[in-house]
Homo-oligomer: A and B are copies of this chain.
Amino acid sequence: MKKLRIGLIGYGFMGRAHSNAYRKVGNFFAVEHECVLQAVCARDAAKAQAFAARWGYRSVETDWRKLIARDDIDVVDICVPNNLHAEISIAAAKAGKMILCEKPLAMNGSEGKKMVAAVEKAKVPNMVWYNYRRIPAVTLAKQLIDEGRLGKIFHYRAKFLQDWTISADLPQGGTGLWRLDVKAAGSGVTGDLLAHCIDTALWLNGGIETVNAMTETFIKQRKHTLTGKVEKVGIDDACAFLARFNNGALATFESTRYARGHKALYTFEINGEHASIFWDLHDLHRLQYFDHRDEGLVRGWRSIHVSDGDQPYMKHWWVPGLQIGYEHSFIHQVADFLKGIETGKPAGPTFRDALETQLVCDAVLASAKTDAWQKVKTSAK
């Protein structure tokens, strides 16, 4: 079995999710590579050591440049705040490493383009961790759409609702809170949550042409953890936008961290001529499906418990009726990444795919700033 030696940068929430995926993929999928947890890198040596011990990483680095320089690392996995994605990715590409980068790809499209150029020049396999594509119910949605079951698509609507920043006492910046710091995150819910919604939407329904957005920052000032001072909040707490897809579909997107009662309520619904689909991250193992071609008398929304061996990814797990969870999306992504390098057909979203999402985010933020419709810029080479 070939070995794929992973060098992980960052040890937070995503560091755990990815490590778990590397450790499990071979138990459940017939892949040709063994993922070896070669090194974890973090500035804080003690924390890196503790993480390595917990997860079985063979070594520790405190400088990502050293990690990239090592010749016993095949894959660099980037799990650090957004403002570091570009620099690390470009360096890793130059060093000839495969790259798995957390989402969003970059701080903005301009950075993203340089990253795409770097990985494409270096011809290294690359992928961005938009993991929701690989929730089986979401993959099933893709399959149903690609089979043409929905017919012409009229509407797309997506939301990602959370409620964890309602308190004005929450500081910005620092461990676990860098998502509130515009310097580290680039934007608020747009890059963090809507980026997920946009990635799924582009995948399921094709390109977005124009957008019209509004954003709001409900709490204008927060104490900054790093400076200790009360500073202006630079991120968007909430963002909603209208959009038109290339295929003529109309869309609404919305995200906020001020929706009391919702923790991670990512939902999307697609209405086609013949059929409609609804999915919800809070019950991620179900897909709601309505098919107008069903006999009228017994027509209704079907609540599909996506746990059958015929359904995407599920034959690798347990038996019908037994659900999997959030973390499995990462395992599926690693399995597909490995299959991609084994077959030569790269699994998406690649950096180039993720750049499309970045450009939509850019247009959304520009629209909110200008109070006007914005065309999404092209990513054509």
Contact = CB atoms under 8 A, between A and B. Distances in A.
A258 interface: yes
Interface in A164-197: 164, 166
B27 A261 contact: no
A154 B259 contact: yes
B13 A140 contact: no
Contacts of A212: 212, 214, 242, 371
A380 interface: no
A149 B264 CA distance: 23
Interface stretch (A3-11, A70-78, A265-273): A265-273
A327 B310 CA distance: 20
Interface in A275-298: 275-276, 281-287, 289-292, 294, 296-298
A321 B265 contact: yes
A252 B276 contact: no
A17 B107 CA distance: 41
Contacts of A80: none
A58 to B, nearest CB: 15
A203 interface: no
A44 to B, nearest CB: 19
A240 B154 CA distance: 13
A64 B321 CA distance: 32
A247 interface: no
Q: How many copies does the complex hold?
A: 4
A308 interface: yes
A222 interface: no
A28 to B, nearest CB: 8
Contacts of A23: 23-24, 27
Contacts of A322: 263-264, 281, 325-326
A252 B254 contact: yes
Given A212-B214, A240-B250, A303-B303, 9 more contacts: A27-B55, A214-B250, A242-B242, A250-B256, A256-B271, A262-B271, A263-B321, A322-B325, A371-B373
30 contacts: A27-B55, A144-B297, A154-B258, A161-B271, A166-B273, A212-B214, A214-B244, A260-B273, A261-B290, A261-B292, A263-B308, A263-B322, A264-B320, A264-B321, A264-B322, A281-B322, A282-B305, A284-B323, A289-B298, A298-B304, A299-B302, A299-B304, A300-B302, A302-B302, A302-B303, A303-B303, A318-B327, A323-B326, A324-B327, A325-B325
